Structure 1
Amino acid sequence: MAGRKRAAPGAARSTRSTRTTCASSSREAVPEVYRQMLSDAEVRPNVTVESPGRPAKRRKPGEKRKPAHPPKPSAPVPQSSRTTESDEEEEEDIEFEDVGLPIPTIQTIMRDTDEEQDDDEDDELEFENINFSLTESKAAQVDNEPKEIQLDLTARANATPRRIADKRKPVNKIEKDRRVEIHKTHLLCLLSHVARRNRWCNDAQVQRTMKKLLTNKMLTYLKPGSNLSQFGQTNSLKEGLSQLEEVFTTEYTITERGMRRALWADSEEQLKNYQPPDDAETSIQRSDFREAAESLKGSRDVGAQLYCALLRSAGIEARLVCSLQPLSFAAGGPFMSKVPRSKKYPSAEERLARQPKYDSSFESPGINKNVPVPSALRRLGHPNATAWNFSSMATASTPRPVQETTKKIRECPFPIYWVEVLDKAHQKWQPVDPLVTHSFWKPKMLEPPANERDNCMRYVVGFEADGSAVDVTRRYAKAYNAKTRKMRIESVAGNGDRWWRKALKAYSRGYTTDMDQIESNELAAAEAREPMPRNVADFKDHPIYALERHLRRNEVLVPGAHAAGTVGAGSKGPLERIYRRKDVRVARTREKWYRMGREVPGDEIPVKFLPKPTKKQMDAFGDEGDADEGGEVGTPIFTIEQTKLYEPPPVVNGVIPKNRFRNLDVYVPSMVPKGGAYVADDLATHAAHVLGIDYAPALTGFQFRGRKGTAVLYGAVVAAEHEEAVRAVIGGLRDVEADMERERRTREVLQMWKRFLMNLRVRQRIWAGVEEGGEDEMDQDEVEKIAEEEACKAEEHAEESEAEGRIHRRRRR
């Protein structure tokens, strides 16, 4: 078989030139329409038409595109290389046009905050428009080297700002602690404010002014006689309150805005630019409150306070009740975010500006001028009414005065202040709200919904006439345990419940009456009657019920716990068992039980091994401050039923058992060894050392700073027979310290008096021979010089006196 004949180099060049000629001739055959399209696409017009004989060969993956104008070699190419190149071109027999790539334009990407980077970047990023126009001169400069694309983060600022979702950083432990402190401070301020308003309700001048609204008939109903039955007395009281409400609501006018819910500011700038509303309440002094009683005008909060004063003036036991609105300490608390107004509902200023200014020639729309309008006389209905002439009467009539329209106050449809009246027949406090809900004996009507922005019921406190206060939130909250309690300070881990009781103790009566005990039992029964929550979220931290999904890492169910019901997350969610909170136990590690004075026997099986904590659980354990509960994964934990009281080794022959650190663990009083005594005093170890008896410093705990704990040693453990002697020595050491302190103070006082007398002697010697009035004439430099000389003499004399005193004391010894 004959081999393929290799083409000569000249033939290859000839073929290439022939192809170029064909391409140039076929370029003229391209229609003008396609040329225009190529021109619009900014593509070079020298299009090479491929030979119709062969299909276009695809470029191999990874093969580089040939440049449009390759640089000329500086050295001549050898004949062998040209031959090889011609062979490759003959095998491919195809030429592609080299179209220049556009020069990359600078792109702009701007990131506003770190939080936005976590979102979907495809939706948030905006790019600058890229110009793909490229001239022939620029296309000739493009080579095979890759170009680096640089990002310019400045064009985003010049672009049109897009609306970004209002996302805030999660509240960490430090911020939450700060919010809790602010919440407590705000609560104390609000309690003081309500207590002050309660004292104003007892003002004699205010009560005399408000008593004018009462009639004898009202007083008869408000003070029913004892001859009536229990139902009759209550019904009479209701009738009197109903009549009083009609009179009070008719006479009182709301002209100001009352208290609203406190909200957090988004930033400090928003707080600086905040301006209180123009219609805010102005009764800030007792004199303003008296003026409001005279004029019967003000906010609805002042109206409730005046209504309380009115009832007290009639001799009725009435409470001033307020729903406190402190700043929330929760992470999802409402903020003072500005609600954007839509174009469909413009602002009040815009609506006022859009209204046309009509003159006296204004004609009502809808009335046709060509149609005769019947006169007022014709419209009277009488056939001869048009014969009467009312011109004289119309002329003599005076124009009607224009009534002043009061500005409408928009507030929450639920009150902040109201009144509680004591129903003596049933020994029960009943709510009365004359201005907002116009209801009485209906406590469940006063709680606002959860989506109400200006009013949130968390703390409802009632103040009696003697200034005592009581928390009556459970009477009005429909879901106190499920929802309301989570927004109160009691839900904060630690001493939140104790802090709230201590805050109300400042307004306590000092003793408990029979009515207080009856009310306490009533509120406890109302809390117990609260139904089971209906959704899963309300079971979290519920004081009565619990779900297994909400148990913490160190919480377990007792063996054999029975379910109290089931609940499902939605209509399609699986049913979960509901357990009672009393069936939940807290499990701890061996070290934690030891620090609580209990020990775990070696044969006990752990109820649980600590799993890996979630982020929410880490925050919860951080709030509790219990470092042991967030230990390593896989640590065994035990319940209190698996532990027993720790019994340390006893004291034998006055020898105190010690650990390897030469001290004794006394975390709780039960850890004191039998036959020993714990002396809680700083001088206990010193006293035991003075007596020469055996003792052990007491380790009472650890002080944590960061993640490291330092042992706290306080007091000492000695034998029981040496306790009295140690305490006597401690008393002697205290006396010695007191004597040393007294001697030190005496020495300091004597030195002070010595210096004072020395200065007096120096002054006396300086001005001994100077007449009166000569002190002003004497030169100051001369006075200072004399003073220095006299001071030196006095010091030398004092040193000599001290030396003589020491010699005299030595001789006496």
Structure 2
Amino acid sequence: MQKLPEEYFHLVREALRDDRKVSARKRRKRDSSPREDEHSTPQVVINLDSDDNGQVSDSSHSEDTYDSEEFEDVPEPTPTGPTSDISFTLDASKNEPKQRAKNVVSPEEKKFRRYYHMLHLLCLLVHGYIRNEWLNDQKLHKKLSKLVPDDVFDLLHPPKDTEMPLRSTRKLLDGLKKCMDIWGKHFKHVTSEGINGLYMMKWDDLNGPWEQPVREMTPKLFSRMVISGHGNRNIGAQGFVAMLRACGVNARLVFNAQPPDFTDAKLFSKLKHENEIEQPLSETKLGGRRKKRGKAKKTDNEDEKYPIFWCEVWDKVSKRWITVDPMCQKIIEQIRNRSKLEPQGKFRQHDILRYIIGYDRKKGCRDVTRRYVLQYNSKARRRRVTKDQEGLHWYEKVLHKLHKRKRTRIDDFEDEYFVTRDETEGIPDNLQDLKNHPFYVLENDLKWNEVLRPGCKECGYLRLKNAKSTMKVYKRKDIWILKSAQRWYNEGRILKTGAVHAKVINSKDFKTGEKIEERLYPLEETELFVPEPLGPHNEVPKNHYGNIDIYTPSMIPQGACLIESPVAVKAAAFVGVEFAKAVTGFKFEKHRVAKPQITGVVVSLDYREAVEAMIDGIEGSMEEEKRRDHELEGLQYWNLLLAKLRIKQKLNARHGVVRENQGMSWDEEIHSGDEDLQNEGFSPNPGGFLPEAGGFLPGSENVTPVDNESSEDAGGFIVENSNDNQLNQNYLEKQSSSEGRMRQEHGITSEEEKGAGSTFQGIEEPEDDNKNLELDYEKFMNDFDESESPANSNQSVSDSEYMYESE
């Protein structure tokens, strides 16, 4: 058998390749399977399998093929090397935003809770301030001082023992112990009325129901309850402070303010709240649950173990404040480590020491939370509004308003004690408490603009349970805060000569947005900016923009002053003195635009009074101009009102008062008008409109002549025969012409006209009606001008009244 040439085999291979290529072409079908969950991550897996002949087939599609003219045959490139199976995965999921947890409130709700917390705290502080004023009543002191015998009074004022100072302190403690026993015998009737409202409430409890006081507390009622020894524990503690003040003891009223916790970001438990409301109803039906209600009352009494109000007494010998709780725990202590008044365990649900305020007898107000909270910086500070600078500024401002006395040596001793408490608190033992701690910081928690001071050493270590390595803890004072040269200049400082940067970061140029390297410097590498002095003729130094930068008071040149006012530039230019526009900041806008904020001018001290006097004059003239504009606008409204009233009065005097259909609605009035028209022979057009008509029928019952003197029952307009002859003539001509046209349009004969009566009387053509309206308007204006002219008036008319009449 003769062998075929090799070229034939080559042609057969190419034909087979083309057939396989055409059969492999197919269109991807849409997936008709149900969609998966929206939160699932869609993935596309493509497997490319190569056969022995080097052909690649897509196994992800079905084997169905079809013919289509949209495809064209393309020669397949020959493989250059060995092929193998290829498998890769494409993740088609998009970067969806992280969903907020379901049990966490929204940012708006967090903001609301913070402001509500501040408002509640402010009300509580004012409440304590008012109660402290009531304790200084002299009449109350006279009656309470009789409860303390002379021997106990001597113990409250012990002489100073130079040999053993502790003896004097011991005598004071004995006197306080006896005073507490005396007060316990006096204040016997202790009630629970109004005691739960001062404990911390959950956000669910704010929806109510709230405990309403039986009667309003007044100073007289408060004094009567203290003297009679009847009231709740808070009034008892306040009365004990009043008794000590009556004996001349420097006693301070301490108030544990308990506003709602704004750091609690949990949602309201509506279902739980509904169950609590329905529970008392079920307890009334089932006798077995009454015992549980008794247990609840017992837990309430246990919660009252920790007081809201207590007392502090100043010890002159030891220079310390002594804590006295006369009502709840009945203890006397000098706090050194942990206070017995700090709630522990389950009692922290409604009583957390965060804001403890002391009110003294001289109307002083101080925050003494540091004395009673052991872990103040790591625990309590995070629950206070003072954890950020904005809240700290607000809190200090409130305390400053409530503090009415000068600073004394007692405040200095107390501040020293607080510093000692901060030092002895120690390093927190967990990461959460170390975050944003005011005295300690982890090396891993350093920010991008913070570095360790060279040569500093760690003050401790922190090792987690599951971690093998330990983390170093440094003191906050060993951390340098770095800023760029421009930032330091905005704070009134410049770099020293030969300053060395401590860190280099990558940032973007503000104008171009390009990436640049920015050097950061610590405070130690800067110095205070010294501005240039004034010129020989009091010229103010300016920059290349023609302004002067005043970001801090230290940047004002010597012998010059800054005058801030919106019209300062105008006033200085009007006076004609040397000045420079002061740039005190920048306003950053979109598209990388920074606009300088010019708030005033810098002038020499010699020109200060002249510029300020000119500013006062310009502001006064602007206020006067604004007042005149406001007055002119008011006069214009009065002018319009008076003109309307006069027009209404003249129309009523000439044509009578229009009678309104009282007791009839708009729809009833329209239907009554339709019935009258149908009775007279008219019917509405198919479009719902009536034939065009104008004027009133002389013989109609709806028009009644009205006398000017009696116009109560009058309505419509009246044709006066004496003065309107021309108007009556035009009216008759118009009536006759309109009647003829209506006869022609509707084909009505004379006989039908007799039967219809006066059906077509009063129908007008639009053209004639316009002429008639022009005549009416001209005559009305002529009569109005004649009656209102000053010549025809017997009374004198002022210029302003004539202006209103003419308008």
Specify the TM-score bucket, using the shorter chain as the normaliser. 0.5 to 0.7
- Give 2:601's match in structure 1, choosing from 691, 694, 716: 716
- Give 2:169's match in structure 1, choosing from 234, 238, 242: 234
SS in 2 for 1:466: coil
Would the alpha carbon gap of residues 686 and 483 (structure 1) be closer, same or farther in structure 2, given more than 3 Å must change?
A: same
Shift of 1:275: 0.6
Would the alpha carbon gap of residues 339 and 522 (structure 1) be closer, same or farther in structure 2, given more than 3 Å must change?
A: farther
- Give 1:441's match in structure 2, choosing from 317, 333, 351: 333
Question: Quick check: 2:110–2:265 contact (8 Å CA) kept in 1?
Answer: no
SS in 2 for 1:238: helix
Question: Quick check: 1:533–1:539 contact (8 Å CA) kept in 2?
Answer: yes
SS in 2 for 1:242: helix
| Structure 2 residue identity aligned to 1:712 | Q
Question: Quick check: 1:283–1:289 contact (8 Å CA) kept in 2?
Answer: no
Superposed CA offset, 1:342-366 (max 9, x none):
x9xx9677667544799xxxxxxxx
> How many angstroms apart in 2 are the aligned matches of 1:712 and 1:612?
25
Shift of 1:204: 5.6
> After superposition, where does 1:143-222 map in structure 2 within 5 Å?
167-169=102-104, 172=107, 178-203=112-137, 214=148, 218-219=152-153, 221-222=155-156
Shift of 1:703: 3.6
| Structure 2 residue identity aligned to 1:312 | R
Partner of 1:322: 255
SS in 2 for 1:431: strand
Question: Quick check: 2:506–2:517 contact (8 Å CA) kept in 1?
Answer: yes
Would the alpha carbon gap of residues 457 and 283 (structure 1) be closer, same or farther in structure 2, given more than 3 Å must change?
A: farther
| Structure 2 residue identity aligned to 1:430 | I
Partner of 2:7: none
- Give 1:305's match in structure 2, choosing from 235, 238, 259: 238
Partner of 2:550: 666
SS in 2 for 1:506: helix
Question: Quick check: 1:282–1:288 contact (8 Å CA) kept in 2?
Answer: no
> How many angstroms apart in 1 are the aligned matches of 2:472 and 2:506?
22
> After superposition, where does 1:407-446 map in structure 2 within 5 Å?
408=298, 409-412=300-303, 413-443=305-335, 444-446=339-341
Question: Quick check: 1:482–1:539 contact (8 Å CA) kept in 2?
Answer: yes
Higher relative contact order (CA closer than 8 Å, sequence separation 6+): 1
> After superposition, where does 1:163-562 map in structure 2 within 5 Å?
167-169=102-104, 172=107, 178-203=112-137, 214=148, 218-219=152-153, 221-222=155-156, 224=158, 230-246=165-181, 248-249=183-184, 251-256=188-193, 257-263=195-201, 265=203, 271-272=206-207, 274-277=208-211, 284-286=217-219, 288-290=221-223, 292-293=225-226, 296-330=229-263, 332=264, 337=269, 353-355=285-287, 408=298, 409-412=300-303, 413-443=305-335, 444-449=339-344, 452-494=348-390, 496-562=391-457
| Structure 2 residue identity aligned to 1:241 | L
- Give 2:613's match in structure 1, choosing from 731, 756, 759: 731
Would the alpha carbon gap of residues 325 and 224 (structure 1) be closer, same or farther in structure 2, given more than 3 Å must change?
A: same
Question: Quick check: 1:234–1:423 contact (8 Å CA) kept in 2?
Answer: yes
Greater displacement, 698-707 / 204-213: 204-213
Superposed CA offset, 1:391-422 (max 9, x none):
xxxxxxxxxxxxx9996543523222111123
Question: Quick check: 1:663–1:696 contact (8 Å CA) kept in 2?
Answer: yes
Would the alpha carbon gap of residues 646 and 752 (structure 1) be closer, same or farther in structure 2, given more than 3 Å must change?
A: closer
Partner of 2:523: 640
Shift of 1:293: 3.4
Question: Quick check: 2:567–2:618 contact (8 Å CA) kept in 1?
Answer: no
Shift of 1:190: 0.9
Greater displacement, 744-753 / 657-666: 744-753
> How many angstroms apart in 2 are the aligned matches of 1:749 and 1:356?
77
> How many angstroms apart in 2 are the aligned matches of 1:407 and 1:499?
38
SS in 2 for 1:698: strand
Unaligned runs of 5+ in 2: 1-23, 25-31, 43-63, 65-99, 647-707, 715-779
Shift of 1:712: 1.1
| Structure 2 residue identity aligned to 1:516 | D
Percent sequence identity over aligned pairs: 28
Superposed CA offset, 1:584-616 (max 9, x none):
121122332232233447975542344799xxx
Question: Quick check: 2:198–2:257 contact (8 Å CA) kept in 1?
Answer: no
| Structure 2 residue identity aligned to 1:234 | T
> How many angstroms apart in 1 are the aligned matches of 2:534 and 2:151?
83
Shift of 1:646: 4.7
Shift of 1:323: 1.0
> How many angstroms apart in 1 are the aligned matches of 2:451 and 2:179?
58
Question: Quick check: 1:667–1:700 contact (8 Å CA) kept in 2?
Answer: yes
Would the alpha carbon gap of residues 651 and 237 (structure 1) be closer, same or farther in structure 2, given more than 3 Å must change?
A: closer
Question: Quick check: 2:161–2:167 contact (8 Å CA) kept in 1?
Answer: no
- Give 1:565's match in structure 2, choosing from 430, 448, 460: 460
Would the alpha carbon gap of residues 563 and 407 (structure 1) be closer, same or farther in structure 2, given more than 3 Å must change?
A: closer
Would the alpha carbon gap of residues 470 and 648 (structure 1) be closer, same or farther in structure 2, given more than 3 Å must change?
A: closer
Unaligned runs of 5+ in 1: 1-61, 63-102, 112-116, 122-143, 145-164, 359-403, 614-626, 764-775, 803-813
Greater displacement, 466-475 / 180-189: 180-189
Would the alpha carbon gap of residues 647 and 237 (structure 1) be closer, same or farther in structure 2, given more than 3 Å must change?
A: closer
Shift of 1:217: 5.8
> How many angstroms apart in 1 are the aligned matches of 2:507 and 2:351?
40
| Structure 2 residue identity aligned to 1:303 | G
Question: Quick check: 2:362–2:405 contact (8 Å CA) kept in 1?
Answer: no
| Structure 1 residue identity aligned to 2:192 | T
Superposed CA offset, 1:172-219 (max 9, x none):
4x6665544433332221111012222333446655676676556655
Would the alpha carbon gap of residues 264 and 789 (structure 1) be closer, same or farther in structure 2, given more than 3 Å must change?
A: farther
- Give 2:503's match in structure 1, choosing from 608, 630, 642: 608
> How many angstroms apart in 1 are the aligned matches of 2:436 and 2:629?
63
- Give 1:685's match in structure 2, choosing from 519, 544, 569: 569
Would the alpha carbon gap of residues 611 and 349 (structure 1) be closer, same or farther in structure 2, given more than 3 Å must change?
A: farther
Question: Quick check: 2:105–2:267 contact (8 Å CA) kept in 1?
Answer: no
The count of aligned residue pairs is 566
> How many angstroms apart in 2 are the aligned matches of 1:725 and 1:714?
18
> After superposition, where does 1:692-711 map in structure 2 within 5 Å?
695-703=579-587, 709-711=594-596
SS in 1 for 2:128: helix
Question: Quick check: 1:536–1:568 contact (8 Å CA) kept in 2?
Answer: no
Would the alpha carbon gap of residues 186 and 354 (structure 1) be closer, same or farther in structure 2, given more than 3 Å must change?
A: closer
> How many angstroms apart in 2 are the aligned matches of 1:416 and 1:800?
72
Greater displacement, 471-480 / 644-653: 644-653
Partner of 1:378: none
> How many angstroms apart in 1 are the aligned matches of 2:612 and 2:786?
54
Question: Quick check: 2:504–2:517 contact (8 Å CA) kept in 1?
Answer: yes
Question: Quick check: 2:561–2:608 contact (8 Å CA) kept in 1?
Answer: no
SS in 2 for 1:712: strand
Would the alpha carbon gap of residues 183 and 558 (structure 1) be closer, same or farther in structure 2, given more than 3 Å must change?
A: same
Partner of 2:735: none
